Amino acid sequence: METIDLRSDTITLPTQDMRRAIYEAELGDDVYQEDPTVNRLEEQSARIMGKEAALLTDSGTMANLIAVLAQTRPGDEIIVGSEAHMLWYEVGSASALGGVVIRVVPNEEDGRLNLDTVEQTIRTENIHFPHTTLLGLENTHNRCGGTVLTPEYTSAAAELAHRHGLMVHLDGARIFNAAVALKVPASELAAPVDSVCFCLSKSLSAPVGSLLCGTRDFVNSARKWRKMLGGGMRQAGIIAAAGIVALEDMVERLAEDHANARRLAQGLARIPAITVHPDRVQTNMVMLELPPGVSTSDFIERLGRHGVKVGSPGGQRVRAVTHRLVETADIDEAVRRIELVATEMQSESR
């Protein structure tokens, strides 16, 4: 039985072209900024995001942390959504290492933050209060099921933040999924914000790396913070080489992953034992809801024994992510196996 792995698009492996590019990469010491391949990737990334400069980081987690470190001071307050990756999955690094207070505004179902609520959350000057200095957005939104933020929304959010003196960081780990879904250049989604990061190692299939982009001054400061965190890599061109291929060849094909996610959601919506909303699927993620009484961890384990791997963001929710290594036929097979397990478990729970 072939395993269908829908846990995350992070499991994608490099393509043959990437392996060849890694093998042939021209290298140098990137701490001295002398790795020509890293320099090329950083220039290419800055251009694509419409920013002055970019910095290769080890991971999306590191890029988000550096964005905080470089744009706040210890004791400041940052605002992020209640479902933000920065809040849930980054080990509390912004607080632990950046010393900032994280203030949360509820995420709407579609990944947005209500801007009136954001405005009310920003601190006014008061001897007792910390300074609110950064707003964090996420596009696409992971825990909201891969939902996209439009350029119009991002502009309105950034305009509000800037009016109150805040900087805006966009966690664009999957910004190319948003760009493909909305049919706009990624630079349009990033234009309103001060800093943006994106990942090479998710749907784009490169093995390692994220890029943090912004003004030249910001990136110079980010480079220093990266060094402090131990993220200054030497011949990092072997990583960057695959990243260049990812940016050149892997963006347009994301539409296939989105079509597969819609197909998966439509297939699953016909199964009475689970709840899925196909109309909420905007990119490469599908959220399913198990009925009360069915244990999520048992469901995941049992499904794993039937050769389908998925994850859970918590509660009765299960997340399935489509990516380059799952084909349309795998989607149909996954629907069949999920139906089997969900129906079995529901009848047992009665």
Binding site for ligand TLP (CB under 6 A): 8, 10, 59-61, 64, 85, 89, 138, 142, 171, 173, 199, 201, 210
CB closer to ligand TLP, 258 vs 345: 258
Give me the residue whose beta carbon is nearest to ligand TLP. Answer: 60
CB of 347 to ligand TLP, least distance (A): 31
CB of 106 to ligand TLP, least distance (A): 18
Task: Give residues with Cβ within 8 angstroms of 347, minimum separation 6.
Answer: none
Q: Sheet containing 317-321: which strands, arranged edge to edge?
A: 275-276, 285-289, 317-321, 311-314
CB of 48 to ligand TLP, least distance (A): 18
CB of 209 to ligand TLP, least distance (A): 8
CB of 285 to ligand TLP, least distance (A): 8
Give DSSP secondary structure letters for 313-344: EETTEEEEE--TT--HHHHHHHHHHHHHHHHH
Pair 288, 339: CB distance under 8 Å: no
Q: How far apart are CA 21 and CA 249, in angstroms?
A: 13
Pair 81, 138: CB distance under 8 Å: yes
CB closer to ligand TLP, 147 vs 201: 201
Q: How far apart are CA 132 and CA 336, in angstroms?
A: 49
CB closer to ligand TLP, 41 vs 345: 41
Pair 278, 285: CB distance under 8 Å: no
CB of 141 to ligand TLP, least distance (A): 7
Kind and range of the H or E run holding 189: helix 186-190
Q: How far apart are CA 285 and CA 297, in angstroms?
A: 19
CB of 116 to ligand TLP, least distance (A): 25
CB closer to ligand TLP, 167 vs 200: 200
CB closer to ligand TLP, 56 vs 122: 56
CB closer to ligand TLP, 133 vs 201: 201
**Which residue, 158, 238, 255, 150, is CA-closest to 200?**
238
CB closer to ligand TLP, 12 vs 64: 64
